[in-house]
Amino acid sequence: MFLILQSLTFYLISVIAAIFIGLYFHFTRNFNFWHKLGIPYVQPTPFVGNLKDCVLLKTTIGEQLQRIYNEHSDKPYVAIFSFDKPSFFTRDLELVKNILVKDFQTFMDHIILFHEKSDPLLANVLLVIRGQLWRHLRTNLTPVFTSRKMKMMFYLVDTCSKELADCLGKAAPDGKLPHDQCSCIFHCKYKVHKLEKFKGYIYIYIYTK
């Protein structure tokens, strides 16, 4: 009986060790990616890459990325690992232009992904659209953001920002805004006149002057 238990224990330990080793090699398989390319990178941690503090809930993803960005301010670019996936930061404006414009066909898809069936609202936000739909929308939207049109829109953004700041300044002592003040936040130059809750989402009806 003792030999059977001993054999079973050894078998279980062997299986757990094999699973752990397999997961270790799986999550570290790409950790030489940036080294082979000769690109400076932040040394990753197995299983979590450079997001350890985020996984441990010590900081947010935004704060973590901002810290890495600031720590390597002397470099035109630096690489990290999002768990096991290689990721890339750049400060070089020309490189940014190449990625977003010249080499758009290569860097077309966004990282964030929402499934349209489970979350149809977020799945159609410009920052998460992928594939052919994003290519089509980008082609149609690009003429809207010319330098001239951006300058024309600036005063609207400036006015709306000031009205929003004034409204938030009138918040209740507990930091919460009454519903009428929340509606007022959107009542700017574009005149949002109705907020309707439908199927868990807030829909904003907008009309222009």
What was the pLDDT predicted at 176? 58
Q: What digits encode the pLDDT tens for the residues 130-171?
A: 777 778 888 888 888 888 888 888 888 888 888 777 776 766
- pLDDT surpassing 70 at residue 206: no
Count of domains observed in the chain: 3
What was the pLDDT predicted at 113? 67
- pLDDT surpassing 60 at residue 178: no
Q: What digits encode the pLDDT tens for the residues 48-106?
A: 999 999 999 999 888 998 899 889 888 899 999 988 889 888 888 888 888 888 887 77
My answer on whether 46 and 95 are in the same domain is yes
Check residues 194 and 152 and name the one with the higher pLDDT: 152
Q: CB-based contacts of 33: which residues, under 8 Å, 6+ apart?
A: 86
Among the residues of the chain, which ranges form H helices?
2-27, 33-37, 52-55, 61-71, 93-97, 131-141, 147-169, 179-186
My answer on whether 91 and 113 are in the same domain is no
- Alpha-carbon span 77 to 41, nearest angstrom: 9
DSSP 124: G
- Alpha-carbon span 209 to 192, nearest angstrom: 11
My answer on whether 87 and 137 are in the same domain is no
Enclosing domain of residue 65? 31-106
- Domain-ending residue, one of 106, 134, 162: 106
Q: Is the pTM of this model over 0.75?
A: no
What was the pLDDT predicted at 106? 78
My answer on whether 152 and 172 are in the same domain is yes
Hey, how many other C-beta atoms are within 10 angstroms of the C-beta on 113?
11
What was the pLDDT predicted at 195? 42
- Domain-ending residue, one of 81, 106, 131: 106
Q: Which residues are paired to 137 by β-bridges?
A: none
What was the pLDDT predicted at 19? 92
- pLDDT surpassing 90 at residue 41: yes
Report, as an integer, the average pLDDT of 103-124: 74
Hey, how many other C-beta atoms are within 10 angstroms of the C-beta on 28?
16
17 within a domain of the structure (yes/no): no
My answer on whether 96 and 125 are in the same domain is no
Q: Which residues are paired to 41 by β-bridges?
A: 79
My answer on whether 82 and 60 are in the same domain is yes
- Alpha-carbon span 128 to 134, nearest angstrom: 9
